[in-house]
Amino acid sequence: MDTKAILDHQFVVAAYIVTWVILLGYLGLLLRRFRRVREEMKDLKRGE
Amino acid sequence: MKKLAIGLYATVTVALMIWGFYQAIYVAPTDAMQGEIFRIIFYHVPSASVAFLFFAISLLGSIGYLAYRHSHPEWAQVADAWALAGAEVGIVFCTVVLTTGPLWGRRAWGIWWTWDARLTTTLVLWLIYVSYLLLRRFAAGPQVQTLAAVLGIFGALDVPIVYMSNRWFRTQHPAPVFGGDSDSGFKDPLMLHAFGWNILAWFAWGILVLCFRYYVERRQQKIAANEAQEALDA
């Protein structure tokens, strides 16, 4: 493998990693929000 | 039954993502002109397609909210939840586009960014929807949903401009993969297959996340409505 191919490969890997960090990071935030909402819904039902 | 269907869909989606990754890295041949860096297209273009679809959903939701906010308040809330979910998840995919693009550009062009029509209009699109979310997060009062819906409609107007930008203007951005001139499209069927699998996988993933975001928003609306009712009763 020449230097260009190695660098290209590293950039492809970086792009794929960044993509999954963004997607899974958002999913993590969404899950946290979901848990909070679920707790609030439980409190709501208990109140009723 | 519903949980089983969701679990099955999520499993198929993850399997598709893994299969798409395998196709992109190991099956699609290296591009003769660009080399290895070409493989970024398998994440970059599907992300842009999903973002465009979700901004379109946000547009429909915003129109629905404005149309029904007086006559059918419950329908308007459903439409508003779709508008918000579409905008938020669309921004996530648009962020992927705006980060994978410069990584490709650095290797292909030697620069991270250039103010050409496609890149600039995409950045403007992202900024409009970020302002949409900021408005919803920090503004208060009964008009927030209406203002957000109007902004959502104006934001969506940028989507066709982004899509057509490298057809209307002379840009540094590569020509369209599909729907361009006679020279556009994948020349190798293996590249086309890899691209097709990734498009399928990204749409499946996007729809899963979008529906989850919608579900959370509907519950948040119910909690907010209940709190408002309690405040009125007190």
Q: What is the pLDDT along chain A (48 residues), one digit of tens a residue?
A: 688 889 989 999 999 999 999 999 999 999 999 999 999 988 888 876
Looking at residue B193, its pLDDT comes to 93
Task: Return the structure tokens found at B83.
Answer: 């508008």
CB contact under 8 A, A44 and B226: yes
What is the pLDDT at residue B179? 65
Asked if A26 lies within 8 A of B209 by C-beta distance, the reply is yes
For B184-209, write each residue's pLDDT tens digit. Answer: 677 788 999 999 999 999 999 999 99
Residues in chain B with CB shorter than 8 Å from the CB of A8 are: 35-37, 107
Instruction: Measure Cα distances from A1 to B4, B69, B109 in Å.
Output: 47, 61, 21
List the structure tokens of A40.
């609030």
Is the CB of residue B61 less than 8 Å from the CB of residue B84? yes
pLDDT digits (tens, 9 = 90+) for B109-149: 999 999 999 999 999 999 999 999 999 999 887 789 999 99
Q: What angle do CA B5, B6, B10 make, to 5 degrees?
A: 120
Please report where in the chains the tokens 């709501």 appear, as a residue. A44
Predicted confidence at residue B180, as pLDDT, reads: 64
Q: Which of A19, A27, A37 faces B209 most closely, judged by CB atoms?
A: A27
| Residue A9 near chain B (CB below 8 Å) | yes
pLDDT at residue B182, rounded to an integer: 65
Q: Determine whether A32 is exposed, middle or buried from the number of CB atoms within 10 Å of its CB (0-12, 13-18, 19+).
A: exposed
Q: Is B54 on the interface with A (CB under 8 A)?
A: no
Q: Supply the pLDDT for residue B228.
A: 85
A15 with B216: Cβ contact below 8 A: no
Tell me the C-alpha distance between B63 and B57, whole Å.
Answer: 10
Q: What stretches in chain B show pLDDT beneath 50?
A: none
CATH number of the domain that residue B22 is part of: 1.20.120
Q: Do B96 and A23 count as a contact with CB atoms less than 8 A apart?
A: yes
Confirm or reject contact between A17 and chain B (CB < 8 A): no
Expressed as residue numbers, the domain containing B155 is 2-233
CB-based contact, B98 to chain A, within 8 Å: no
User: How many domains, chain B?
Assistant: 1
